[in-house]
Amino acid sequence: MTKHIGILLFDGVEELDAVGPWEVLSWWTRTSPDDGYEVFLMADSLEPMNCAKGMRILPDVRVDAAPPLEVLIYPGGRGTRRHLLDEQRLEWVRTQRETVPLMTSVCTGSLVYAAAGILNGRPATTHWSTLDRLRELDQSIEVRPDDRFVDDGDVITAAGVSAGIDMALHLVARLAGVERAREVRRGIQYDPEPPV
């Protein structure tokens, strides 16, 4: 039986927050279908989502029509600012928490999780520029400013933008083993060597 990984899209989503994990997870699920996972992009509508820097992305499925999830990935981006004050969105996150075994976020997606109350008393991280905001949203969170991602069992939060790739590779290792994650890393030729 196929297990589903959903990456949430919304207007103002940071491109690499969504596309980085998508690259990792789609490479894995397409080259190793016997592992039993599928990844898709979901949004409130099937209209193109306007991302933070101008890219437009088409969702695969509407949120209300998505199959049950094994993993939810909540990216960040300027669009999350609205979500922090959107009680309907926060209630949706709480509902997901009740049924989705593994909740993950990238960048300021963790702020939405904090606002929804699902990071209460947990270690977590976010983009370096919003670490103080994470603390403000819930003072019980153990903010980890130096971690690329924080795995707290059924919740994983990743720092900003490119850290979502590291988190997604970690996710593959958790779900399918370290060797599979190494295959994916080699397949997407992810060997960071910053030029500066």
Whether 107 is a known active-site residue: answer yes
Question: Which amino acid is residue 136, in one-letter code?
Answer: E
Q: Are 125 and 143 in contact (CB under 8 A)?
A: yes
Q: Which of 8, 39, 107, 165 is catalytic?
A: 107
Report the DSSP pairing between strands 155-158 and 149-151: antiparallel
Q: Are 27 and 184 in contact (CB under 8 A)?
A: yes
Distance (Å, whole) CA 183 – CA 152: 25
Distance (Å, whole) CA 158 – CA 156: 7
Catalytic residues: 107
